[in-house]
A and B are shown apart, each in its own frame.
Chain A
Amino acid sequence: MAGSGYKGANIDDVDHFLKGGGIDSEREQAIGQHIGYRYDVNLLPDYDRLTPFLRDYIEFMGWDDLNWLEDVHMGYDDGQAAVFDRNINGWVAIPEDMELPDNQQDRDMIAREMLIKFQMSPDHPMVDLYKAYRKF
């Protein structure tokens, strides 16, 4: 169905991009490079799968739900699980030794939790950018 999933192939295996890098279509094989999203950007969160950390984060921010994190999913970069950090315009790789759940919804919750931990860290690149470029 249009718009419901990844373009280029029907992905039934949650580990598809971890196993093969996602070079599926004829075009992708021709250029040797996967093109397109490595996850379904339209996948809505299943709130039954919220982690305790995310519940605490939501409460801290004064929100009633995941808010901007609804758009965060676990993606796959170079055959490795990763989450895209919009604040650095790059992928943050999930530790290779982390055992991933067997479904995308639970993986997305992990990705959300790890992204918060990364963005709020004093080591995050935005800390230096803020010092250098803040306007007010």
Chain B
Amino acid sequence: MNVKREKLTTLSFFLSPMAVMVVLFYLVPLIMTVYISFTRMRNWNVSKYLTEFVGFYNYHRLLYMFQHDPTFKAVLLTTVVFVGITLIINVFGGLALALATFFIEDKPASAFRLLWLLPRMSPIAVYSLVWYYFFHGSEIGTLNSILMKLGVISQPIPWGQIVPWGAWSIIIFVNGLVGVSFGMIVFTSALNQIPKELVIAARVDGASSWQISRRILIPMIRWHLLYVLTWQFLSLLTTYPHLFLLVQWDLVNGDYGTTLALYVFNTAFGMGEQDQGLAAAAAVLLSVIGIIGGFVTLKVLKFERMMKRPRGDF
């Protein structure tokens, strides 16, 4: 009895810092968001609206907007396209880079990988500015000026204002470039864990680099693939800084450059009328999608199998 208690004390001692963090920065905001989504909270007028319950009013509004508001429909469609395509680029781009650098010599490989880390290392504003000028709709835009010099086009094209695919292409491109490095790093370290004899054995048996990748390397790093897929899915679902700047600077179309995450931010903290109740409801929707997505990877793709039960004797 006493021993058990002692264990409990030790356990809570070691777990408490993490528990405090989770409660303070995850559980409390989550509860607050859910709570606010049931109020008429707007313009941060806490004293007036905090206790004004409206039931599922905000959720009904979301549903109504989903049915009738073309702007909100565009936001949802943009979210699906953006998350879907950027996810594929992030995961498979990262995989392709990791595999490509796996088969070349160490020195050029690490230089090449460093290059791909640059977007991740540069501040968001600086990085976004680079692409702002690149895709700019006037003749000062790099892309436009190149194409005009080459004689492909005679008038500058406002790329980001072509809806939907012009705007989508830019936000997918800009975020995709940031995201590949994450997958690349994870996959590279996973590939380096594979004993080199496996690759040598396959080579001697006549396997090409492609066959080695497909038959040996990729199956052996499938857990990492799954991990990066889940991680990138969740982070793409909730990311908005690059999108915010690109829309704010009017590089891309507001409707087709805005994902649900950015919509939540704009609705709660944006210019003009702020509607925290509606934003909270949309945020809850976003969380539910994230939780379902996470759950699907956990259960359906058998993510839990890679989690080994601890073998400590206590």
Whether both chains belong to one complex is answered with no
Q: Enumerate chain B interface residues (CB-CB to A < 8 A).
A: none
